[in-house]
Structure 1
Amino acid sequence: MALGIKQLTGRRLNLTINFVAGLAILFFGYDQGMMSGVNQSPDYVRTMGLGFSTYEGPDQGFVATITEPTKQGGIVSIYYLGTLIGCLIGGVIGDRIGRVRTMMIGSIWVLFGAALQTSAQNVVWMLFARIINGIGTGHLNAIVPVWSAEVASHTSRGAFIASEFFLNILGVVVAYWLEFGLSFVGNGDTQIRWRLPVAFQILPLLAFMSVVWLMPESPRWLVKAGRTEEALRILGNLRADGDASSPRVLQEYDDIVEIVALERKHAGRNTYFAMLFGTDSGDLHVARRVQLSVWLQIIQEWVGISAVTVYAPVIFSQAGYDARKSEWLSGINTVTYMLSTLVAVLTIDRWGRRIGLWWGAVGQGIAMFLAAAFSRLALDHPDKAGQYGGAGAFCVFLFTFVFGATWLTIPWVYPTETFPLEVRAKGNAWGVLGWSIGNGWLTLVNPVMFAAIRENTLHVFAAVNFLSIPIVWAFYPETANRTLEEMDLLFASDSLFVWEEERTFRQLKERNVQLRHNEGKPEHDASNELKESDSV
C-alpha cells in the first residue's frame, strides 16, 4: 500500500491528497457536531451536574432539562480554548518541521483527548479532556488547510479545500444521526447514548493517521527548508505526471525559489508578536493580513452557524415543534448543510471569494431575520403554530444551505492564501485563533442568549450578516485565481482599502510584464514583481 501511494502522480495524486486531508476535516466536523446530541443525553446531563431528566412517555423517552446553561456552554466552549492553544503551537512547528509531521503530532493529541472524553466521570475531567482534544484539533486546523493550499494549483485551490468541507459536514451528519439512533436505546437514558458517539470520532482519525505519513510534503515548505530537489520532484508529480522538467513545473518552482529568497530579508517578522504588530515586515504588511484572517473567522461564527449546528433543536422547538420532531428536522438540516458544500466547490474559484461572502451574507441575514419573526409568531399564535413553525424551519434550512455554499469554506480558504510562505502556517494559525475566539465566545453565551431573549437571538445574527457586507467590500481583496506567490504583491500597498491594493497590484504586474518582455523572458514571475514594489 505504501509503495502504491508513493507512486501516484498527477490527478490521482491530487485526489488522494484531497481525500486524506478530508479525513482530518471529517473528524473536525464530527467533533463539533457531536456535542449537539451529547448535550441532550439525560445521563450526560446528570453526570456533569447540568440539570435533571424526566420520562415523557414512550414517544419521547427520557428528556433532559438544563438548569445550568452557563456550565453547559462552558463545557462546549472550553474546547475552543484548546484549539486556540493548539493552533498557535501547530503554526510554530508547522513552519519549523513541516506540514506532515505536524499533522501527525496533532492527531496524537486528539487521540488522547478523545479517550479522556469517552471515560469522563465529572465536569473537571470533561473540561480537561476537551482542552486536550482541542489542542490536537488546533494543530490540524492550522496545518491541514495550508498543506492543501500549497499542493493545489492556483486555479483550483478554493475548490480543492471546499471539497474537503463536504467531508467536514459529512462528519456533522454522521454525529447527528448516530446520536439520534442511540436516543431510542433504553428510552434514551443510557451512558452509551453519549459515550459511544464521543469514542466514535477516533475511527476517522485512525484512518487519517494510517495514511498521512505516506503523503508528499508541501513543495513550498521543502523549498523554504532547503530541500529543493525533493520539492521539484514533488511539483513534477503534482503538476505534470512526474515530469519535473515540464515548463509549467519549472516556472512554478522558480517563482517559489525567488519568493523564498526575497522574503528572508524580513527575518524579524517570523514570530507571532512581530506578525501581530507588523515589526519589520516592510511592504509585506503581515499585520494587516493577520487582522483580516482573525476577524473574518470571528464574523463567520457570529453570522449564526454555531447556534444552528449546536442548538438547532432549541430553534425548532421555539418554532412550535415537539422534541422528537425537532430532532428529525435538525438531522435533515445537517444533510442539507452537507449537500450545500457542493455549491461552494463549483463557485468558489469561478465567482471568487468576495462575491461568495456578499451573496452569502445577504441570504443568511434575510433567513435569520425571518426565522426569528416566524418563531415569534408561532409562540404568539398557537392556533397557527404549524404554519408559522413550518415557515421558521424553512428559513433555518435556507440559512444552513447558503452558509454551506459560502461562509463555511471561504474564511478557511482565505488565511491559507494570503500569508508569505515563511510564516504561512503561523498565519493560518491566526485564522484558527479567530475561529476559536468566535466559536468559544458564542457557544458560551448561546445558551444564555436563548434563555434570556429567545428568538431575538436570531435577530442579532441577522444584523451581523448585514454588517459584514461593507467590511468585506472595503477591506478584503480578491484572492481567487492568483498564485500564492502573487499575494505579496496584492498586499504591497500601504493602504488598507481594496481599491488601492488592486491598483498597486495592477501596476506591479504591468511593470513586470514590460520588464520581462524587454528581456525576452516569459511574462509571469511574481518574485520580479515584488522587487519593484518599493517604488510604487
Structure 2
Amino acid sequence: MGHQIEKWNIAHSFEKGQLLIAINCLAALSIFFFGYDQGMMGGVNNSKDYIDTMGFGYTKVVDGQNTPVVTDSLLQGGIVAVYYLGTLVGALMGGWTGDKVGRIKTIAFGAIWAIFGAALQCSAQNHTWMIFARLINGVGTGILNAIVPVWATETAEHKSRGQFIAIEFTLNIFGVVVAYWLEFGLSFIDNGNAAIIWRFPIAFQILPLFVLFAACWYFPESPRWLVKVGREDEARWVLGRLRGESGEDVARAESEFQDIRNSMAIENENKKTTSDSYFNIITGRGFGKLHVGRRVQLVIWLQIMQEWVGIAGVTVYAPTIFRIAGFDARKSQWISGLNNIFYM
C-alpha cells in the first residue's frame, strides 16, 4: 500500500516520533509567520519613511531621535486593522478549501497567497496600495491559520495534541520577538530615515512562506481527510507510519483508523438531512447528539474573550504605548521587544 504515496514523501523515511516532529516543525513555521506578521507593524508604524509614504503623520527630532507624530490615527489604524479583516475571510476560505482539495494543497495555496500579499506590501508607494496589500496578505494568513493547526492535530496522537499545539504557538510569540528585535536593529540605519527600515521587515516574511510552500509537498496528507474522500488505503498506510508498524503500534493504528471511519460515517449520515454549512456548524442544526454547535460556540467565544483583554493592541502598538508613557522613541522599541521575550 505504501506505493500509493509518492516516493519523495518524508513518510517513507520517517515514522512515529520523527515523523510527528517533522510535521510539527513545518506547522510551527506557519505559526511563526503569523506571529512575525503581527509583531512586524509595531516597528513599521514608527519608521519615518513609512509615515511619510503612507501620509498619516510626520516625525520630529526629539533628543536626536525621530519621534512619530500621528495626525490621522484612523488611517494608521485602518492599515493595521484591514489585515485582520483579511484573516477572517481567509479563515472561512481555508476551512472550505481544506475539505475540498486537502490540507497540503490548501497550505500551499495559502502560502502563495500570503507571499503575493507580502510582496505588494513591501513595495507599497501609498496608503491605498498598502491597504489592499494588507488585505490580500491577511487572506493568505487566514487560510494558513485555519488549515495548519487542523492538519497538525489530525496527524498527532490524541495524548500529545495539546503539547504540540503549545509548542507551535510558542513559535507564534517567537515570531513577534524576531519582528521587534529585527526592526530595532534596522532602526539605526541612516539615523532612522532609510526606507529599508520598514520595507525589509515586511519582505522578510516571504522567506518562511517560501520554505513552507516548497516543503509542504513532501509531507503526508491528513488521514482523516484521506478517509473523507475515500482513499482509505492511503489513510491506513499514513496512520501506520505515524503510529508505528510493529507490535502493539499496528493495533493502535488500526483502532484509530476504524474510529475515523466510524466518525466519518456519522457525519455522512447527518449530511443526508442537513448540509455542513457554516451556519449549521455554528448553530449545531442537524448534527444530532454530536453537539457540534456547542463545541464551535465554545471555541469561538474563547477566542473572542482572549482578544477582548487587549493583547492584540499591545502586540501591534507597544512602542506607541510606551512612548505615550514617557519613554523616548528608541527606548520604547527595545522595552517592547523585551516585553515580548517575557511572553515566551
Under a length normalisation based on structure 1, what TM-score does the superposition of the two structures give? 0.60
Q: What residue ranges of structure 2 are gaps of 5+ in the alignment?
A: 1-6
One of 17, 22, 38 as aligned partner of 1:16:
22
CA contact (8 A) 1:244 1:250 kept: no
Q: Which is worse superposed, 77-86 or 277-286?
A: 277-286
1:269 aligns with 2:275: yes
Deviation at 1:287, TM superposition (A): 2.4
Spell out the pairing of 1:167-182 with structure 2 (5 A cutoff): 167-182=171-186
Instruction: State the Cα distance separating 1:53 from its structure 2 match.
Output: 1.0
Do the aligned partners of residues 34 and 281 (structure 1) sit closer, same or farther apart at CA in structure 2, a change above 3 Å counting?
Answer: same
Indicate the residue corresponding to 1:426 in structure 2.
none
Q: Which residue in 2 is equivalent to 1:420?
A: none
CA-to-aligned-CA distance 1:358-411 (integer Å, 9 cap, x gap):
xxxxxxxxxxxxxxxxxxxxxxxxxxxxxxxxxxxxxxxxxxxxxxxxxxxxxx
Q: How far apart, in 1, do the equivalents of 2:322 and 2:204 lie?
A: 27
Cα distance change of structure 1 residues 36 and 322 upon mapping to structure 2, 3 Å threshold: same
**2:281 counterpart of 1:293:** no
Per the alignment, residue 152 of structure 2 pairs with 148
Using structure 2 for the length normalisation, give the TM-score.
Answer: 0.93
> Equivalent residue for 1:282?
288
Amino acid at match of 1:235: L
After superposition, the Cα gap between the structure-2 partners of 1:17 and 1:64, relative to the gap in structure 1 and judged at 3 Å, is: same
Tell me the residue number matched to 2:127: 123
Q: How does 1:192-341 map to 2 (within 5 A)?
A: 192-241=196-245, 246-267=250-271, 268-338=274-344
Q: Distance in 2 between matches of 1:273 and 1:47?
A: 42
Q: Unmatched 5+ residue regions in structure 1?
A: 339-536
> 1:5, CA displacement in angstroms?
5.9
Structure 1 partner of 2:40: 34
Count of aligned residue pairs for this structure pair: 336
Letter in structure 1 aligned against 2:149: P
Label 1:3 to 1:234 Cα distance change in 2 as closer, same or farther (>3 A).
closer
Q: What is the identity, as a one-letter code, of the residue corresponding to 1:126?
A: M
Quick check: 1:82–1:138 contact (8 Å CA) kept in 2?
A: yes
User: 1:51·1:68 contact (CA, 8 Å) conserved in 2?
Assistant: yes
- Report the residue type matching 1:258 in the other structure: N
The one-letter code of the counterpart of 2:171 is L
Question: Comparing both chains, which one has the higher relative contact order based on Cα–Cα distances under 8 Å and sequence gaps of 6 or more?
Answer: 2
- Match in the other structure for 1:72: 76
Query: Residues 158 and 93 from structure 1, CA distance in 2 versus in 1: closer, same or farther, beyond 3 angstroms?
Result: same
Which amino acid letter does the alignment assign opposite residue 104 of structure 1? A
Q: 1:91 aligns with which of 83, 89, 95?
A: 95
> How far apart are 1:244 and its partner, in Å?
9.7
**Offset at 1:327?**
1.5
Q: Secondary structure at the match of 2:69?
A: strand
Q: Could you list the per-position Cα deviations for residues 119-165 of structure 1 after superposition, in whole angstroms to 9, with x for gaps in the alignment?
A: 11111111110111011111100000101111111111011111011
SS, match of residue 65 in structure 1: strand
Distance 1:307 1:131 in 2: 18
Q: CA deviation at 1:318?
A: 4.1
Corresponding residue number in structure 2 for 1:46? 52
Compared CA separation, residues 307 and 19, structure 1 to 2 (3 A): same
Whole-angstrom CA distance in 1 between matches of 2:338 and 2:268? 50
- Asked whether the equivalents of residues 9 and 220 of structure 2 are also in contact (C-alpha less than 8 Å), the reply is no
Q: Using the alignment, how far apart are the partners of 1:3 and 1:133 within structure 2? A: 29
Map 1:361-376 → 2, pairs under 5 A: none
Distance 1:28 1:219 in 2: 26
Match of 2:105 among 87, 92, 101: 101
Asked which structure has the greater CA Rg, the reply is 1
Q: 1:164 to 1:243 in 2, by over 3 A?
A: farther
C-alpha distance in 1 between matches for 2:140 and 2:323: 34
Q: CA RMSD in A?
A: 1.8
Contact 1:25/1:167 (8 A) holds in 2: yes
1:158 matched to 2:183:
no
Alignment deviations for residues 270-294 of structure 1 (CA, whole Å, 9 cap, x no partner): 1112223333222223222232222
State the secondary structure of the residue aligned to 2:59: strand
Could you tell me which amino acid in structure 2 is paired with residue 19 of structure 1?
A: C
The one-letter code sitting in structure 1 at the alignment partner of 2:229 is: A
Query: Aligned residues: percent identity?
Result: 56
How far is the alpha carbon of 1:57 from its aligned partner?
A: 4.1
Matched residues in 2 for 1:242 and 1:151: separation? Answer: 18
